[in-house]
């Protein structure tokens, strides 16, 4: 009888994204060769790691520096994840040198550029799929506020609720004060039910410090995580939201996230004139 040799399954790498400090930013798992893993094994590994997402990469034999990428939270697969993209790109840059990579995701193609060096550290810039924005129904916003235990008068009405997309869907809600944003204590099950019904990946909760600087938080109960510490997909969607709301052509935005969780991170969002996509840049470092 012929026996099939067991498939070697590489160990996941552990990175913190949108930070130069392993104790900051958003932890992500990265598997650089996902070919030996079944769908069920990828989900099980993501659940075991417990990070908000783990990226699984499979090299494209027909495209140098091209990879098919899938993202799993502890509970489910998601179409796109920004922080795990940044982490995976930096991991590739450390092994193959800086330059251009192309990630093929369920949301579409995501070009990534890695810059830096081993001495100075690496950063990556992802270019999202084209961003879109749609109105949020009044009843859905009311349901979200109830689950968050926020009052309508605590919102900043200069930044009205919208559903924004740049690879994944996010409901944008703006707090009128930094204190309101800092005090996050929500109904996990109620918010998860609303998000599943609206096909949302996170809520993008924001507070505007000034026209180019924002503090953000992202509840992620549909992924089995109370809060995502730094959220690149939501940052890209928020860039598209601001471009449409304020008629921006070119702009650079700085998003601060994770401070209220003790894992501060910084996300840089760039809007380029004539391009409906959004660029998100950040550092990433190994956690071990």
* Residues 6 or more apart in contact with residue 163 via CB below 8 angstroms: 133, 134, 135, 136, 169, 170, 171, 172, 198, 200
53 catalytic per annotation: yes
Which of 53, 94, 154, 227 is flagged as catalytic? 53
| Helix, strand, coil share (%) of the chain residues, nearest 5 | 25, 40, 35
Q: Which phi and psi (to 5°) does residue 274 adopt?
A: 80, 5
- Name every residue whose Cβ is closer than 8 Å to that of residue 232 and which is 6 or more positions away in sequence: 17, 18, 81, 82, 83, 85, 86, 126, 267, 280, 282
Question: Count of CB atoms within 10 A of residue 88's CB?
Answer: 32
The catalytic site residues sit at: 53
């Amino acid at each position: 009888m012929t026996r099939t040799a067991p498939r070697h399954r590489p160990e996941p790498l552990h990175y913190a994204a949108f930070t130069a400090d392993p104790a900051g930013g958003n932890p992500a798992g990265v598997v650089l060769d996902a070919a030996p893993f079944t769908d069920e094994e990828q989900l099980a590994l993501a659940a075991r790691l417990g990070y908000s997402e783990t990226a699984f990469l499979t090299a494209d034999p027909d495209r140098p520096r091209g990879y098919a990428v899938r993202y799993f939270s502890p509970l489910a697969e998601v179409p796109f994840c920004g922080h795990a993209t940044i982490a995976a790109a930096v991991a590739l840059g450390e092994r193959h040198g800086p330059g251009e990579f192309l990630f093929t995701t369920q949301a579409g193609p995501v070009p990534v550029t890695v810059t830096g060096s081993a001495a100075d550290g690496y950063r990556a810039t992802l270019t999202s799929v084209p961003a879109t924005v749609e109105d949020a129904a009044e009843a859905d916003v009311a349901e979200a506020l109830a689950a968050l235990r926020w009052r309508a008068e605590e919102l900043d009405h200069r930044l009205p609720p919208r559903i924004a997309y740049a690879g994944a869907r996010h409901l944008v809600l703006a707090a009128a004060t930094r204190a309101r944003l800092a005090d996050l204590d929500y109904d996990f099950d109620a918010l998860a039910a609303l998000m599943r019904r609206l096909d949302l990946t996170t809520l993008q909760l924001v507070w505007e410090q000034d026209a180019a600087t924002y503090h953000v938080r992202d509840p992620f109960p549909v992924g089995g995580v109370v809060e995502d510490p730094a959220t690149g997909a939501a940052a890209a969607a928020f860039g598209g939201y601001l471009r449409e709301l304020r008629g921006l052509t070119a702009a650079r935005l700085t998003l601060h996230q994770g401070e209220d969780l003790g894992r501060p991170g910084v996300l840089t969002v760039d809007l380029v004139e004539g391009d409906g996509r959004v660029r998100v840049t950040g550092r990433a470092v190994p956690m071990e």
